[in-house]
Structure 1
Amino acid sequence: MSADKTTRLFLALWPDPFIREQLREWRDAWGWPQDAAPVADDKLHLTLHFLGNLPDERLPELLDGLALPFDPFAVEIGRAVLWPRGLAVLEPHGEPPELLALHARLGEALVSLGLQPEQRAYRPHVTMARRAVGCKLPASGPSVLWQARSYALVESRGGYQVLREYPTR
């Protein structure tokens, strides 16, 4: 493997087909302006940590070093919000302590692997679209009750590819 090759990586809760369909229905309920870029069905997820571009040679170490035992938990998602710079997101109704604990433990694992987690405060969400300034937010909709039984290390190279899924203990 060449030392100059890199892979763009992130950790995420990766939806099963049932949750993905519910997220798609939410995304399709928004009124998107012409220039908006709705997220494709197969890219809908809840990010835990963005790792950025890392050397391919580190992948085996990362795949093993990011395996953490955790207990399953539920996240109830269903608040449509437009963030600054036109980022349309679906936020949870609350931040489950188990989600925050998983995020924190993964951050510690990143540090132990010599990586620096993002410094900004963690705001769990599912991105629905980019460039969505002026979108019409759905008034309400059914909550998505996401039973988190795994998280994934995902490669972003045009499309998304799950490199490894880490199930609960």
Structure 2
Amino acid sequence: MSSGNLLPDSQRLFVALKVPEPIGYTLQNECKQYKIGIPFTKWTYSEDYHITLQFLGDTESNRIPALCEVLNNVASEVKPFKLEMGTWDTFGVPEAPRVLYRTVAGNTTRLECLQQKIVESTVELQFNKEARKYRPHITVARKYTGKTPFQRDLLISSSVETLSWCVSEFVLFTTHIGSKPMYEVVEAFPIKV
């Protein structure tokens, strides 16, 4: 279970929402069309599509039970909610973006509430709070490598229907750098109805 330069008996962890398989399949098909004309160094493996809620970093394995306990408590305090696939966008310099992603729409208020509860509960366990404002998204590619400036107008959604799903759980992922899929579920936390 090697993940780069981790200390022995530790894992690189984060809390996230998995993108349901049918949504991921549609997103993967859209990305196949973009790969032809929009060069990025790395395209996300379809099974790795997710919405990060809290990055935890390198974590000693003996801390995982306490982490899972507080995450179970969070799951018991929230209700399921609906999300939708949003628009295409980028992070970084507009001419050479570092990340291509899909935004998230739907009940983003409930999503942000869930994210905040997770952050508050993990900070109590001495995990660091992200300094940047929370911007939920699904990363699909990294590091634009085109010889000409990136053309944002190429990003039009090929989906004719609204892609929506019900969020009924979140997960604790561990990272396996260089593997496909790269993320493995450590534990899932069902959201009580």
TM-score, with normalisation over the residues of structure 2? 0.78
Q: Do the aligned partners of 2:12 and 2:58 also contact (CA within 8 Å) in 1?
A: yes
2: distance between equivalents of 1:13 and 1:53? 19
1: distance between equivalents of 2:53 and 2:17? 7
Q: Do the aligned partners of 1:29 and 1:138 also contact (CA within 8 Å) in 2?
A: no
| 2:153 maps to 1:148 | no
Q: Deviations over 1:37-90 (max 9, x none)?
A: 110011111111111111122111112221122211111113001210420010
2: distance between equivalents of 1:37 and 1:163? 25
Q: Which residue of 2 aligns with 1:75?
A: 83
Q: Do the aligned partners of 2:101 and 2:137 also contact (CA within 8 Å) in 1?
A: yes
Q: Which residue of 2 aligns with 1:57?
A: 62
> Which of the two has higher C-alpha Rg?
2
Q: 2:47 corresponds to which letter in structure 1?
A: D
Aligned length: 167
1: distance between equivalents of 2:132 and 2:14? 15
Q: Percent identity?
A: 26
The residue matched to 1:119 in structure 2 has which SS?
A: coil
CA RMSD of aligned residues (A): 2.0
Q: 2:46 corresponds to which letter in structure 1?
A: D
2: distance between equivalents of 1:89 and 1:95? 19
2: distance between equivalents of 1:127 and 1:95? 19
The residue matched to 1:131 in structure 2 has which SS?
A: strand
State the Cα distance separating 1:29 from its structure 2 match.
Answer: 3.4
2: distance between equivalents of 1:40 and 1:135? 23
| 2:109 maps to 1:109 | no
Q: Which residue of 2 aligns with 1:23?
A: 27
Q: Do the aligned partners of 2:20 and 2:165 also contact (CA within 8 Å) in 1?
A: no
The residue matched to 2:133 in structure 1 has which SS?
A: coil
The residue matched to 1:105 in structure 2 has which SS?
A: helix
